[in-house]
Amino acid sequence: MSGTNRRAESRHHQASGGIWGRTRMLRWIAALLLVAWAAYEFDLPEKFGLTERSMPSFLLPKPHAEVPKYTRLAVGVALADRFKSYQDVSSTLKVLESGGFKEITSRHRRAVESSDYPPYRFDTIRVADYVHLGHVGQMSLQFFNDRLYQVEFVPSDPEEYVRKQRTLGLERDQNARREKIEGSLRIASTVELAVSKVGQHLGTEPFILWQDLRLIQQRDEWDRTFGSIPKKMISG
């Protein structure tokens, strides 16, 4: 190979290497963006059990400005006989386990984290063999952003339960529904209606529920403000 050809080939390799080297940073950026997209699209942190502390900061969306508003804790009110609003899922499960309940199931539904909206997570705990006022039934506990806001009890024998329900001091309306509101606490029941002839004809489900109206209002406000924003939901 002549000296001229060797010099031309050398310049070609140098030029190629220079382009490759100059685009190295762009390739790294592209790779990081691809990883970030995959993490969002396939919810990799949830699937691999990664916490925020264990994740690189570039994978985390910038928190929405109203995160504190929709995760804030407050002094809770009594819900049913052993729960308080604002308590988290973990402590609620411990209360149930310490109470000797065995048939406990839980599930969750949440929106993938985004800078476009605050956290949006719902957890449900169901207890098939719960006992309230001496009667067995199914208990459902609802959480909004890891804060208990509603407890619902469906008695297995509503005709027997309705007698014990009267000790709760609920006011009866003309349709045999009962309700009481004290501060942030709302208690409502359809048990008496369900056992009546009208309720049986309508197929009314017998239940009694306890709600913290502060969290009910906050949940509804979230839906009004951010509900129209497209979001990917994850269930488990």
Same domain, 147 and 30: no
**Per-residue pLDDT in tens (0 to 9) along the chain, 236 residues:** 555 555 555 555 555 556 556 677 777 777 766 765 665 555 555 555 554 445 566 567 899 999 999 999 999 999 999 999 999 999 999 999 999 998 999 999 999 999 999 999 999 999 999 999 999 999 999 999 999 999 999 999 999 999 999 999 999 998 889 999 999 999 999 999 999 999 999 999 999 999 999 999 999 999 999 999 999 999 99
Say whether both 103 and 203 belong to one domain: yes
Q: Is there a single domain that holds both residue 27 and residue 95? A: no
Query: Does 93 lie in the same domain as 44?
Result: no
pLDDT at 214: 98
Residues 93 and 181 occupy one common structural domain: yes
Regarding whether 39 and 126 lie in a shared domain, the answer is no
What b/e sequence results for 102-136 when a residue is b if at least 16 CB atoms lie within 10 Å of its CB, and e otherwise? eebebebebbbbbeebbbbbbbebebeebbbbebe
Structural domain boundaries enclosing 200? 78-235
Q: Give domain status of residue 73, yes or no.
A: no
Is residue 51 located within the same domain as residue 114?
Answer: no
Domains contained in the chain, number: 2
Please report whether residue 208 resides in a domain: yes
pLDDT for residue 26: 75
Residue 68 falls inside a structural domain: no
Answer yes or no: is 168 within a domain.
Answer: yes
Give the burial class of 202: count Cβ atoms within 10 A of its Cβ; 0-12 exposed, 13-18 middle, 19 or more buried: exposed
Tokens of 96: 């149930």
Pairing of strands 121-132, 104-111: antiparallel
Mark whether 24 and 119 lie in a shared domain. no
- The answer to whether residues 156 and 215 belong to one domain is yes
| pLDDT value for 60 | 72
Regarding whether 141 and 30 lie in a shared domain, the answer is: no
Q: Is residue 53 located within the same domain as residue 115?
A: no
| pLDDT for the residue numbered 51 | 47
**Nearest partner of 165 among 212, 140, 132, 199, judged by Cα:** 132
Q: How many CA atoms lie within 13 A of 111 on its CB side?
A: 19
pTM of the model: 0.78
| H or E stretch at 89 | helix 89-98
| Amino acid in the structure at residue 85 | S
In a domain, 29, yes or no: yes
Do 15 and 93 fall within a single domain? no
Predicted pLDDT at 189: 97
pLDDT at 53: 47
